Structure 1
Amino acid sequence: MKDHLESSIFGDHDDHADVHDLVEHDAHPAAPPASRRELREAELAAQRASRRRRGRGSAARAGRGKPPWWRRLLVIVLALAVIGGGAAVAYQALRPVVEGFLESNDYPGPGQGSVRVTVEQGAGGSAIARELVDADVIKSTKSFVDAANADSKSSGIQPGVYEMKKQMRAADALAVLVDPKNRIVTRVTIPEGLWATEIYAKLSKASGIPVAQYVAAAKDAEALGLPSSARGNVEGYLFPASYEFAPDSSAAAQLKQMVGESVKRLDALGITPDKMERVVILASLVEGEASTEADRGKVARVIENRLASNTSIGFDSTVNYIFKKRGVPTQEMLDSDSPYNTRRFKGLPPGPIANPGESAIQAAAAPPAGDWFYFVTVNLCTGETRFAVTAAEHAKNVAAFNAWRESTGGKC
């Protein structure tokens, strides 16, 4: 019992215990004591037996403590499955965050479809970027701001309407905006001296808006911003210049812009609203009669001198305005009883006879000093005009004109 307990707790005995056990079981009580040689042989035999028993015990323990290879493989597979499943769950949970870091803030381009974008006056880079994002032209404001910061031309973006694609690269969208040729505008040039009816026709041709809409818009003096002295008449206040109108601008908006240009220049000259009408009427006469810019001041002085002397102005341009015809008026036209006929009636006509430009307005506002009372263009091809103080001097200038007409047939 003692040997069994020791073996259970401490394992196998040492070699001496095995020898004792072997000798105790193998010896015959009646046998005489063994010789030294026999004892040595018995001890060796006991050692061999002990080694055999330890080998069998180790094998048994190894068999019980270590599972077979296929079980170990199964455990590994199951562990990987658990880990893989957890990773999948984690990926689904973290996917928005990961994509937020990894996803590009720019479209790859080149874009598709078509959309119009308006760049407002004074809009900065961030405001333009937000407009582009709202229209889905670019993916993020950051992508556009980064592209703009890297391009020195971005500071030159002009206000207006641009035709663009949806989902463009920010750099490509910027390239569209920095080129002013890409602005969608109604471009029209109004030369000096045209009548309002001629201007309506030019605006209509450029914009596609019917002439009738311009005629109707011209009747709303308050909406157009006309000075009170104009008495609701837009003639003379449609400032001649080159204009770029937004593609969706109305007839009223276009006329208002042109009136605003005239009023702005009159304001700059110190002309108060109550005196604007007289200056514009005078300027329209100058525009209708002066052949060159250098002559405008002198023509304005002639008009003032004739008004001061209570003499009729006597201009063909006022008669032409009555009939809306260019050229030398016929006798029938000269006999018109219209108050615009300055051949028959003294003083200024009741309203402007054309839409004068800036130099004519300046000449009318401050004509140079001089005693000129007459003038005549002696060469219609070059526009050479001669001014005179006396009727006799003027008669010589008229003779020069007749000589030119006879030699050329009045043609250039």
Structure 2
Amino acid sequence: MSEHEARAGERDELDDYDYVPGGRRRKGRGLKGCVAVLVALVVLVGGFYVALTQGVSWVADQFQGPEDYPGPGTGSVEFTVNEGDTTAQIGRNLKAEGVTASVQAFIDAAAEEPDAAGIQVGAYELQKEMRAADALEVLVDPDNLIGFPTVTIPEGLRVTEIVETLGANTEYPEAAWNRALQQPDKLGLPDYAEGNAEGYLFPATYEIKPGMKPVAILKMMVNRWREAADAANLEERAAELGRTPAELMIIASLVEAEGRGEDMYKISRAIYNRLENPDNGITNGLLQIDASVNYGLNQDLGVGLTSEQLQQDTPYNTYTRPGLPPTPIEAPGELAIDAAANPADGPWLFWVTVDLETGETKFTDSYDEFLEFDAELCENAPETC
């Protein structure tokens, strides 16, 4: 065979290969290419067949917008927008609740509505099978918000009682609140509380927003305490009175347990007078506050005490131990905190609420007069004596 013929034979073999990057050759796809063309023809013919058998509507559906209900809707659905929900997440939740037909219909409606970025967290009343644009119109109007559930913490509750109240009025059991209290670093307590929330869970009415967990709710209560403390200049006044902020909070809790209204400022002063004049020859530095004794005995603060109980020595027995108890005994309100920080001027050492119905309280620095007041109380309420 001549050289020319040999090269021609080589070219014939190479014609069955294609070039690939890098200069190498690969086997040609002559037969496979034909198969691919045939498959494409089958798919195309199949598409025409579907179009013919299912009608023109099938073809039209491929170019229509996302599925949407015609509206106006039926029934009632309470729908919640949660903290951190994106537009897409709201759309998914709407579809899951049967409010809208598709997520994309809501997203498209939101893209055309500038106020969609301002949808507020909370509950709204919607309907089943609404147009996405109609559902959005409800959500962008804050006037359509349904109020959040609330829980009220009255003044004068201990932490244990606050936990009971929260457990009974929220979706979280008492155990969840107690676990949250074991994470004091997350609650925002001041350093001088030493990790103990007693006295620092401010009594007020709180809105429980969707998705709020116990730690966040307790932190909200501590933040509200901080507002009251700042309003009373608690820390500045503590320095001026020669006390620590923690001591002022203990005094505030005692004032809350003992007084009402404007009388709290006088009771506060009487407590300071006993603390600052321990050698007065009458009280000898003893505060003698029953509510504190009851706290140490884990009894209701208003329970009457026997002589034996008054002698039981606990850190909270202000009949046997001079000075303040080690912690607050309950949650003081705004007035009690302000009274502890800004006591009235006066010489009083004693106070007696002589009429339990009206709250009338009398003050004196005379022990004999105190006995007269006490007798008046016994006359008005014999069960207390």
TM-score tier (shorter): 0.5 to 0.7
CA distance in 2 between partners of 1:145 and 1:369 (Å): 64
5+ residue gaps, structure 1: 1-87
- Structural RMSD (CA): 3.9
Q: How far has the Cα of 1:394 moved from its partner?
A: 1.9
The one-character-per-residue Cα deviations of 1:188-209 (angstroms, maximum 9, x if unpaired) are 1110001111111110011132
Aligned to 2:122: 160
Pairing 1:289–2:258 present: yes
SS at match of 1:293: coil
In the alignment, structure 1 residue 214 sits paired with structure 2 residue 160: no
Distance 2:293 2:146 in 1: 45
Is 2:357 the partner of 1:381?
yes
For residues 3-402 of structure 1, the aligned pairs below 5 Å read: 107-110=70-73, 116-118=79-81, 120=83, 132-135=90-93, 136=95, 137=99, 139-140=105-106, 159-162=121-124, 164-165=126-127, 167-169=129-131, 170-171=133-134, 174-175=137-138, 178=142, 182-183=146-147, 185-272=148-235, 275-290=244-259, 292-310=260-278, 311-323=285-297, 324-325=299-300, 326-402=302-378
Greater relative contact order: 1 or 2 (C-alpha under 8 angstroms, separation 6 or more)? 2
TM-score in terms of structure 1 length: 0.64
Shift of 1:374: 0.9
| Larger Cα-atom Rg | 1
Whether the aligned pair in 2 keeps the contact of 1:313 and 1:342 (CA below 8 Å) is yes
Q: Work out whether residues 306 and 373 of structure 1, in 8 Å CA contact, stay in contact via their aligned partners in 2.
A: yes
Structure 2 stretches lacking a partner, 5+ long: 1-50, 239-243, 279-284
Q: 1 CA distance for matches of 2:70 and 2:122?
A: 24
Identity %: 35
Secondary structure of the corresponding residue to residue 219 of structure 2: helix
Aligned-pair CA distance for 1:112:
7.9
In the alignment, the residues of structure 2 paired with residue 220 and residue 104 of structure 1 have an alpha-carbon distance, to the nearest angstrom, of 48
Shift of 1:171: 4.1
The separation in 2 between residues aligned to 1:361 and 1:174, in whole angstroms, is 46
CA distance in 2, matches of 1:296, 1:289: 8
| CA–CA distance in structure 2, aligned partners of residues 180 and 209 of structure 1 | 27
- Counterpart of 1:328, as a letter, is G
Contact 1:158–1:180 (CA under 8 A) maintained in structure 2:
no
Return the alpha-carbon distance in structure 1 between the equivalents of residues 295 and 190 of structure 2. Answer: 22
1:130–1:141 Cα contact (<8 Å) kept: yes
Q: Say if 1:374 and 1:388, in contact at 8 Å, map to a contact too.
A: yes
The letter of the residue matching 1:276 is: P
1:270 deviates by 3.2
Please report how far the alpha carbon of residue 372 of structure 1 lies from its aligned counterpart in structure 2 after TM superposition. 1.4
Q: Which amino acid aligns with 1:225?
A: G
